Every structure is written in structure tokens, then in C-alpha cells.
Chains A and B, each alone.
Chain A
Amino acid sequence: MSTITGEQAAAGEVTSPNRLWQSIKKFLALSPALVWIFVLVLLPNIFLILYSVWENDLGTISQNWTLDNYSSLFQSEVFKTLLKRTLIISLVSTTIATLIAYPLAYVVVTKFGRYKTIAALLIIIPLWVSYLMRVFAWKIILGEEGVLNGMLMSLGITDKPSEAFLYSTTTVIVALTYVAIPYIFLSTYTALDRIPRHYYEASSDCGASPWGTFRNVIWPLSRPGVAVGFAIGFVLTFGDYVTPAMVGGLEGTMLGSIVLQEFGNANNWPMGAGIGVVIAGAGLLVLAVVSLFTRLDARIE
């Protein structure tokens, strides 16, 4: 590569066959990555989309093109309710998680000085605990035999264990918020940590109060990180089925649960694929909206 650039510099201009050869070379250099992307990302999605436009014939798939899966989905009240509920649960828990994680990251970055890395690790450690363990932890806290009920009873606030804390939409939101926090924290922490100290100082020097500095300098510079964190949180919670299955009960069922059902008990793969496509589509939609906020015409030095 370097010799070619050297020759070009010597020749003064690039001839077009040379340029073509360059692009081919560049493409070849990238090709292992492209193969991976194709196998790991594109192929599964292509299959998902294909399945969703094939016919379900009593549990077997016949490869006839059809949009029936989608039309019956969008005629189904259950699906529409679930879609709406999943959207709400996911948006609410991601928003709450962002509202918790971002200020947390801000405080860690600005106030913890040289201990900020340790503080950040302490917050992310829940990420390392297995997902199932975490959901079980919520069951232990919120369940009928759980810590919360025990506490309320011993304080005499209630006289018998309540089932209300578990198996409700609220429970799912709480649990999913908890799932999303570390990811959003990581993303916003990284964004905030990249902002050098001297921007805070320059802003303060220009007469801006801490709030003014945050609003005019820190927020615009960290917003892309917040947007990315939000997107990750949304995608993560929108497709989740373990949490609703464990703590959601009937009221907390989400789309992910019926994907599982369609692929499993119902043995209707095309329908399951259709729901999968809807989930992926919703994720893409949110990413598209969010990417409007990630644009930053700036280079932090």
C-alpha cells in the first residue's frame, strides 16, 4: 500500500486503472470483515424475513409467498395490545434507566477525580452477574415470600403478603430498567469521560454557572453517547422475554414471549418470524430517530 502511495505522489496524479486496482485492494482487505457481517448479521435476518413471507401449513412451512402472516398479525387484538404494551414498557424503562444512568455517569466523571474508574466499575459490576441471577434477585425482593413483603409486614403496614409487587407491568418496568442501566451508564460514561477538563474550565471562565456549563457545553457534547445508550437500552428491553416470563405474569407479557410461543408450542414459524421482523423493525425505527441526535459537528481534542 505504502509503495503505491509513494509512486502516486511521485507521478503527481493517479491514473484510473491504478485507482480501480486500489479500490479492489481495499475491498479485498475488508473482505474477511464483510464475510463475517454477512454470515452473522445479514443471513439470519434474510432468513427471518423469508420465513415471515412463507406460508404456514399446519406446522410445516411451504415456500409460497404470502403476506397473510402480517395481515393476521395486525388484525389480532392480542398482538396489537402486546405491541403497544411492549413499546410502552420498553420506552418507559429505557427512559427511566437513562434518567438514572446519565446523572450517575456525570457525577462519577466530574466528582470522583482519580477514583472515577473504580466507581464506574462498581456500577457496571451488575453486568457481570448472570442475567437469570438478576431476575431471580428481583423475585426474592418482590415476591410473596420476598424481602419487600416481609419488611412491610414487620412494619405493620400490611398484614398479609401481597402479590401485587410481582407479576405486573410495573414489576417488568422496574426489572427492565435495572437491566438497561449498566449499558446506558457505560455509553454515557464513555461520552462524558471524553470531554476534557479544560472545556468545563473554559466555560466557567466565560462566566457560565455549573448548570450553564452543563446545558451549553457538556450536554451537547455528550448527547450522542446518551442517544447510543438509549438505543442499546431500547433494543435490549424491547426484545426481552426472560424478564416478563419470570416477573411479569399475564399483565407483563411482552412481544418476545409470543415469539417464543410461535416458534415453540404453536409451531408456527412464519408467524413467529413475522413478529420477529416487527421487533427488528421497531428497533431500527428507534435507532433512526435516535441517530438524529448522535450527529455532532465537532471534534473533541
Chain B
Amino acid sequence: MAEEREETELNTATTERQEPSARAATGESAAAVVELVGVTKTYPGEEESAVADVDLRIREGEFFSILGSSGSGKTTTLRMIAGFEQPTIGRVFLDGNDATDVPPYRRDVSTVFQNYALFPHMKVQANVAYPLKMSGVPRREIGPRVKEALERVSMAEYAKRLPHQLSGGQRQRVALARALIRGPRLLLLDEPLGALDLKLREEMLFVLKRLQREVGITFIYVTHDQGEALAMSDLMAVMNKGRIEQLATPAEIYAKPATSFVAGFIGKTNLLSCRHVEGNRAEAGSVPLILAEDPKQSQFTLSVRPESILIGTDCHSLPNRFVAEVSEVLFLGHEREVLAKIGDQRLMVRSQDLTVGPGDTIEFGWDPKEAVIVEATGG
């Protein structure tokens, strides 16, 4: 049942994804809040591009995540959207207008900085009032709006404190209130939960999601934490070495990773390098496999998630079925992670059977539909 639901979600995702690009092709860009076209950023004096040839289209009201490991170019991408960096090549569109050369203070974009960047000499209320003051909102309107904004993040009682008198989580909330008070079209969050401990982090995830739903602003959320990205996003981009490896819904990215990098980065997976034999048959090393469909290349990588591998009697009806020797077992509490050897291949499977130990033989297999052919990632 769960599979079926994933399937349908996946389908809608694919159609949704095609729609914007089709619209871009006809030159219409009405609903895109942000659009990056062929953006490359090379910092002066650097050989490699921090961001390379990125195309992005983010629509109104979306919770969009950029996921990638440290140094993959997430912050640089965000800074180009905010206007702190200029792309070396390419254009940045905001609301359909070319904003590439527009300075940050003329962009209707707010940022929650990785280190919050609250002004240290201003009280919490002055910090939150600052964007209103700068955009010339009459003084008597500012007070109530600041109060409301602070209440929304449960920080009203700290209005008279200075930033250094707050804890990390409290600063985070103030930074959020400051970023949201003008009601920007777009909110950029650069690893906003990075400095918080686990419990606060989970709490803030809920706060963020609730705020986004309440205010209906487009969020671009940068993180290196796949869990956060999967949980929060409507759409997400996985970045690696300055490039977008895949742009899709979390469900699609999880179920159908486009590249071996994505497959390896999101959750655990088995990556098998395979050779096409004929029809839907292939070989991983010396191990024969059945595929769901004919592969297009003669050499390819297959991703099989441990949780789609069934063990014991469950796998008897499956076309891919193996008897393997257990080489290592890792106890994870509710289950065991088992490293099993078939021929010259090693696969990771999950087992609820607590008696499995090294040297035992187990039987397992998977439905060909659960295995995904991914592009090999260069490097």
C-alpha cells in the first residue's frame, strides 16, 4: 500500500516538474519567484567554480530545499539569490525580472543567516523593527507589528534584551522574526538549525514548517542534513561540487535517485556496477540480476535500498533471489544491519532476525521494480 502511494506521488511530481520547464520554453515565467538561468560562480583567484551551470525555478509558496555536503556550493547559490554575490555567468530572475545587478537592499528577499547576524548593539525589538524602519514604515505602525512578529515566534517577553543575552535557539527565533516582518516574497535560510542541539532542532523544524504554512512565503532552505530536507520540502535540489545532481520531490529523490551520488547521499543504499547481458538481464560482477526494464546503456549502476531487500520466506516469489553468506552484523536496536556476500558482491540488508551471525547463510531478494538504474557520477 505504501508503495502505491509513493507511486502516485511520484507521478504527480513528474508532471509538476515538467510544467515549469515547458512554460519556460514558451517564454512565460509568471509564477516563478526565483529563477536561475545557467548560473556559474567562480570566485576570484579560484580555479574551480563554486557553482556550475545551475538552472533553478522556484514557484510561489513552495518550500524548496537545497541539500548538499559542505562545500557543494549551497551558500554561494543562496548568496547570489540574495544579491551578496554576482554570478560569473548567467542571470538571476526574481518575480520574472532580471535582478542579476540589483543590490540586496532593493530585492524583496530576506535571509536568515547561518550565524543569525543580529545587530549586537540593538535590543531584540530594535532588531526586528529594523527592516520596517529602513523601508519607511510610519513609527506608530512599527510597534504593534514588532510585537506581533515576536509573538509569532514566542519571543515577546525578550523584546528588551540584547542579542548576547539570548540563547542560540532564541537568537534563531529573533532572526526569523526579523526576516519575516516585512512580509518578503522569499525567505532564504542558510543551515538555520546548524548551531542548535538535536531537541531544539526538531522543535524549530516544526516552527519553521508552521510559519511557512501560516505566512505562505516561498522558502529556500539550505541544509546538509538529508533528514531535514526530506521532511520539510515540497521540492528539493541535491547539489554536488557546484552542480545540481537532481531536482525533484523528496519522495521521488528517495525512490528514484537520478545519480549514484544522490542514491548514496540520501539514505543508505547498495550500489552495484552492472553489465547488460540481454533483454532485462544483467550481471553485477559474476552475479546475474533481473531488471524491471531493459537498460539503455551496456554499463550502468544499480541502486538497491536495504529496506527493499526482503529476507527469508518473503523473497521466495521474487525473480532476484540469492543465498548469501553473512560476513558482518551491526546491531541497530530495532533491527540488524547485515553485510552479505554473493559471489564477488557485497550487499547490505536489514534483518529483524536477531539470531543472524557472521558465517550464517541467509536467503534474500528484491523486486526488480525496487531497484533503480542511476547515472554514474563523475568523481
Contact = CB atoms under 8 A, between A and B. Distances in A.
Interface of A: 196, 198-199, 201-209, 212, 216-217, 220-221, 296-301
A216 B105 CA distance: 14
B326 to A, nearest CB: 50
Nearest to A299: B164
Contacts of A201: 82, 84, 104, 111, 113, 117
Given A212-B134, A297-B162, A204 B104 contact: yes
B22 to A, nearest CB: 33
Contact of B130 (A198, A206, A296, A298): A206
A248 B267 CA distance: 80
B371 to A, nearest CB: 45
Nearest to A213: B105
Given A199-B119, A221-B121, A297-B121, A205 B162 contact: no
Contact of A298 (B83, B105, B121): B121
B104 A298 contact: no
B103 A204 contact: yes
- Which 5 interchain pairs have the tightest Cβ spacing? A298-B120, A202-B117, A298-B121, A206-B131, A204-B104
B120 A216 contact: no
A217 to B, nearest CB: 6
B321 interface: no
Contacts, number: 73
A207 to B, nearest CB: 4
Given A298-B162, A298-B164, A301-B115, A207 B182 contact: yes
A110 to B, nearest CB: 14
A206 B120 contact: no
Nearest to A217: B119
9 contacts: A205-B105, A205-B111, A208-B105, A208-B134, A212-B134, A297-B121, A297-B162, A298-B121, A298-B164
B110 interface: yes
Nearest to A223: B121
B130 A216 contact: yes
B134 A202 contact: no
Interface string B97-136: 0000001110001110101011111000000001101110
A209 B133 CA distance: 12
Contacts of A205: 82, 104-105, 109-111, 179
Contacts of A209: 105, 134
Interface of B: 82-84, 103-105, 109-111, 113, 115, 117-121, 130-131, 133-135, 162, 164, 178-179, 182
Contacts of B84: 201, 204
Contacts of A199: 117, 119
A301 B103 CA distance: 25
Given A196-B117, A299-B120, A301-B164, 10 more contacts: A201-B111, A204-B83, A206-B182, A208-B105, A209-B105, A212-B105, A216-B134, A220-B121, A221-B121, A300-B120
B162 A204 contact: no
B222 to A, nearest CB: 15
A198 B103 CA distance: 15
A122 to B, nearest CB: 22
Nearest to A221: B121
Contacts of B117: 196, 198-199, 201-202
A202 B120 contact: no
Given A298-B162, A298-B164, A299-B164, A206 B121 contact: no
Contacts of B133: 216
A100 to B, nearest CB: 25
B94 to A, nearest CB: 14
A209 B104 CA distance: 9
A208 B129 CA distance: 12
A201 B111 CA distance: 9
B116 to A, nearest CB: 9
Contacts of B164: 298-299, 301
Contacts of B113: 198, 201-202
A229 B87 CA distance: 40
Nearest to A205: B111
A202 B119 contact: yes
A297 B121 CA distance: 6
A196 to B, nearest CB: 8
A215 to B, nearest CB: 10
Contacts of B120: 221, 298-301
